Chain A
């Protein structure tokens, strides 16, 4: 969807993420009070999530995380929307969707994951402990 390769630690949530009002674009953290990842940062991580929700400011906020150097390393998502597509494009990180396995079953937070969006491959290199 957006080409490129990345490797890093996975951050997994089954909840959609808001851009405007949902993240702090200065440190890459989730700030939505009722979100299961509240307080955690996706900076430099492989963000695995269903997709975007909320305001049309989604792309602009993820765009700012890139400008501020706190963008995710890659994005793996399951629900395609205009917010998600534009956000991934302007964040300019490898992004993939439409997987042949359930990513939420397969990938756990803390796993070391390599993403090759050009080849269409996601590989779990190292399992998180526990």
Chain B
């Protein structure tokens, strides 16, 4: 891999031991990929804090050791300097305020706080959300980024036209300290064109519709780049957030085009570049129903937990939940948690949404989600969620039964304790 003089100097230790360790990792990683060079980045989203029991032993030796080992893959514990690139923390394991409700161990809470103090002092913005693009990190068109979190990566590439691969804990640590990442995959224009075609023959309008279309898309194209055309409307931030998270869960999609709506394709020809996909997958009413059925992993209709906010909810989504719960009470056997970034929670409190959700018996959580934290209310057996991603992952992770449906179906199940569904 070709290195610039600046990068060679970093490798040789001119920026200190941590920067040298970071450059060493990027060289190993870039060579493994077969990348020709590195590219500059000033936008890193990674996982830097310590919040899980598996990290506890390392954290006992100090947070510099956590960063050295887990974020730089360095055997030697090095002193960690200020981040060179703009850097934020993604979703984490513990809700800093509602940790007791989660059932988190106070020692773990303290460890997470200590680690956040450590990285915060070094310039990591503790957004603590899977949706940094909702709370101040919105990549510009063409911006080279180094992001983790599959639902954020697909949003960055597909919805915004930023450029990132799915990075990991070590490569984001190295990128944060060097401002570099391998120039490979989605950083290159020629790798961003569509190579699969999806024709949408059934109206896609609601959040439920967009989630089901996303899940279908991932099933059909796996890790390829779909171009979607047809009866689509109502494209906005929350729909693309939901669509992308679903497609990234069922298939590992990291990039897509919706001609006329997403920035790299004003028309379909632009989406495909020179190589138009000949065959297309048809999304029709039968495909829609099949996806809906696929996402159900429950048999018992008595529901005891409603999980909302995956990916983390927008302020409008929190407001909508408050509206649907207004003046009502959740069934006494049901817990309902809404997940939203902490910054949005502050606005939701000020707007009265949090109070209205709590008056109905629900909770508004931040910083985490049950799939990441592996913490649910005690004794939960059957969950319902409006998130295709959560329906895909949570039943396996938490060993629970899962229902998937619209927000309205989830709220109804919360109020009655019984799942009716949408079909």
Contacts and interface: CB of A to CB of B under 8 A. Distances in A.
Interface of A: 1-2, 21, 25-26, 32-33, 53-60, 63-64, 67, 80-83, 85-90, 95
Given A21-B393, A63-B170, A80 B149 contact: no
Contact of B185 (A1, A59, A64, A82): A82
A33 B401 CA distance: 13
Contacts, number: 79
A67 to B, nearest CB: 7
For chain B, give the interface size range.
20 to 34
Contact of A56 (B32, B34, B167, B182): B167
Contacts of A83: 166, 168
B70 A81 contact: no
B29 A60 contact: no
B393 A82 contact: no
Interface in B30-78: 32-34, 47, 54, 69-70, 73
A56 B396 CA distance: 18
Given A32-B396, A53-B252, A60-B47, A90 B170 contact: yes
A23 to B, nearest CB: 12
Nearest to B152: A56
Closest 7 CB pairs of A and B: A59-B168, A56-B148, A60-B169, A85-B32, A82-B165, A85-B33, A90-B73
Nearest to B168: A59
A65 to B, nearest CB: 11
A82 B167 contact: yes
B70 A63 contact: yes
Given A59-B170, A80-B34, A82-B166, 5 more contacts: A53-B252, A63-B73, A67-B69, A83-B166, A86-B171
A29 B184 CA distance: 31
A106 to B, nearest CB: 23
A103 B129 CA distance: 40
Contacts of B393: 21
Contacts of A86: 29, 32, 167-168, 170-171
Interface string B143-186: 00000111001000000000001111111000000000010110
A67 B149 CA distance: 23
A121 B183 CA distance: 28
A32 B70 CA distance: 24
29 contacts: A2-B32, A25-B54, A32-B396, A33-B396, A54-B150, A56-B148, A56-B149, A57-B47, A57-B148, A57-B168, A59-B169, A59-B171, A60-B70, A63-B169, A64-B54, A67-B69, A80-B33, A81-B223, A82-B168, A82-B171, A83-B166, A85-B29, A85-B32, A85-B33, A86-B29, A86-B168, A86-B170, A86-B171, A87-B168
B100 interface: no
Given A88-B32, A89-B28, A89-B73, A21 B168 contact: no
